[in-house]
Amino acid sequence: MLRFDDQVVLITGAGRGIGHQHALFLAERGAKVVVNDYGVGLRGENGGNPVFADAVAAEIEAAGGTALSACCDIGDKGQVDAMMAGVIQRFGRIDVVIHNASVYADLGSFADARVEDLERIMRVNAVGGWNITHAAWPHMIEQKYGRVVITGSGAGFFGRRKDHAYSIAKAALMTMTKLLATEGAALGIKVNLIGPVAWTDQSKAQGIPPLMEKFAAPVQISKVVAVLAHADCPVTGEMFHTGGGFVARVFVGETQGAVFDVERMTPEDVLAGMPRIMDESGYIVPPNSDRSGAHLSASIAAANPAFAAALEEAKRNRSQ
């Protein structure tokens, strides 16, 4: 059994829904849980209510576990830093961050969408994810160990019709996962992302089909998160779509592409070469932009001897 004894796990948005299930599930397996929830409504209104975080922390304590309630606005860096200081003072370490908190906008056409909704949702999803991970990162570096699980969405992976601001905010977390995984690899820190499908009040408001109430309980998401949050997690920088017992890897791929003569390249050449550009056979999955850039450079070098020579010289100069 995957256990979390003596590990400190901070979960944002843990007062309700999927985050609530994460808190109970990991506490049952020995984790000391920091229950972060700002007590806002589904659209981010009326924040600052500690009742949700307090209730979940009390539920864990009543079951014999250890929990700390933290009503904190994760969009505010000062509040997050103060919360993390309190966690370190209480427990002496932070092992796992699960960024689950989210807010939503009303569904509608892009013509009717409001930039205020984008800013509000980005503040919780993207800025909040940045703040909470940034606050934990130095402690994870010091202890040479950490796990970060970020909650994305199918909307972020692929875009959800009529859900523009939420889709964009969740997409930002994909890049955050990749870059932090790259930096954390040498530090003992693993960072992964899930796109959950589960029946909650929030998902119902987003239009998730009622069929999912019976077949997609939030606890099924927690079982996948437990793997990514555990010391035995075998992957980093990966993204998973999961719900109702289904788990799939999601990745950004790159085709082999086409290389044109830069001296004679025209828009017409690009148009004619589109079948090769779009051909998915032999695609690659770069783990980060450096590897994608290396693929681009190697492709150009294969078709351009002068570039190949200049590239080799640049490599030699860097190694000296």
Report the distance separating Cα 246 and Cα 240, nearest Å: 10
Write down the residue that tokens 């922390």 correspond to: 57
What is the predicted pLDDT for the residue at 198? Answer: 85
Taking the chain, what is the end-to-end CA distance rounded to the nearest angstrom? 49
Note the pLDDT tens digit of each residue in 106-123: 899 999 999 999 999 999
Share above pLDDT 70 across residues of the chain, in percent, rounded to a whole number: 93
Note the pLDDT tens digit of each residue in 251-260: 999 999 999 9
Statement: residue 134 has pLDDT above 90: yes
Where is 195: in which H helix or E strand?
A: strand 189-196
Average pLDDT score over the chain: 92
From the list 170, 178, 214, 315, the catalytic residue is 170
- Catalytic (active site) residue 178: no
Report the distance separating Cα 215 and Cα 119, nearest Å: 33
What angle is formed at CA 32 by the lines to CA 29 and CA 37, rounded to 5 degrees? 110
Question: Against a cut of 0.85, is the pTM above it?
Answer: yes
146 φ/ψ angles, rounded to the nearest 5 degrees: -175, 155
From the list 32, 166, 178, 190, the catalytic residue is 166
What residue spans define the domains of the chain?
Answer: 8-250, 267-319
- Catalytic (active site) residue 104: no
**Which of 147-161, 188-202, 218-232 has the least mean pLDDT?**
188-202
CATH number of 8-250: 3.40.50.720
What is the predicted pLDDT for the residue at 205? Answer: 61
Where is 317: in which H helix or E strand?
A: helix 305-319
